[in-house]
Amino acid sequence: MSAIEFAPGLFTRGITPPLALADFKLVAFDMDSTLIDIECVDEIAAAAGRKAEVAAITEAAMRGEIADYKDSLRRRVALLAGVSEQALHEVYAQRLRLNPGVEAFVLACRAAGLKTLLVSGGFTFFSDRVRQRLQLDFARSNVLEISDGRLTGRMVDRPWGDIVDGAEKRRVLLEVCELMGISPDQAIAVGDGANDLPMMGAAGLSIAYHAKPAVREQAMLSIEQGGMDRALEVLR
């Protein structure tokens, strides 16, 4: 199904705007390059002098050119071994910014009664802070292993598994829907990379935000110019 340009830089597919935001009960967000304007793993790699190497793997993974997301993340995290914990604080303080329109869109969702979920293939060091800053209800992401103040190049196993990949993002979305007693059709999923497609495909409304081509081509709403609050031109 081809996309229709609803407004300049705003494309819809398979939906008839406007939609009622209050008809939805949950909104799930990717973090890196969606809620925030960086890929955290790439910025941490800069402290190790390996940003170009890590960023190339990240770009390929987000475009869907690497089939095994877990393996791609393990490879990138392994290259971070020896980076100081202080570098994480510096990335957060100096490099991480919320994307335009994110705060306005999250506020509008909360005002309409939606619960908010952050589900990220990134790291809790950043997602915990972003969750608190935006007052999100739920979050799941990966934990970097730190020993003696330095990254070990590994991630910590969690009770639910080892790494948040596309399948885990979808599973978390469906689990939260079940806990809330709602249908996945009442959920919105917002992302930009190939690992977001499984959860976007499970949700009643999928929103691509300045996304990779494969994601733009499958999303029901694609924001290609402007901030995330442009979704409110479709969701009233």
Per-residue tokens: 70: 């877990």
d(C-alpha 25, C-alpha 32), whole Å: 23
Calculate helix-pair angle for 51-62, 40-47, nearest 10 degrees.
Answer: 170
pLDDT of residue 67: 84
Confidence of residue 1 (pLDDT cuts 50, 70, 90): confident
Per-residue pLDDT of 34-48, as tens digits, reads 999 999 999 999 988
Check if the beta carbon of residue 83 is closer than 8 Å to that of residue 48: yes
Q: Which residue(s) pair with 36 in the sheet?
A: 32, 98
Percent of the chain with pLDDT over 90: 97
Residue 176 phi, psi dihedral angles, 5° rounding: -65, -40
> Active-site positions?
30, 32
Mean pLDDT of the chain: 97
Greatest C-alpha distance within the chain: 55
Domain 4-233 has CATH 3.40.1710.10: no
pLDDT of residue 221: 98
What is the H or E stretch that residue 109 is in?
A: helix 102-111
- Distances, alpha carbon 11 to alpha carbons 16, 80, 159, 233, in Å: 11, 38, 39, 11
pLDDT of residue 190: 99
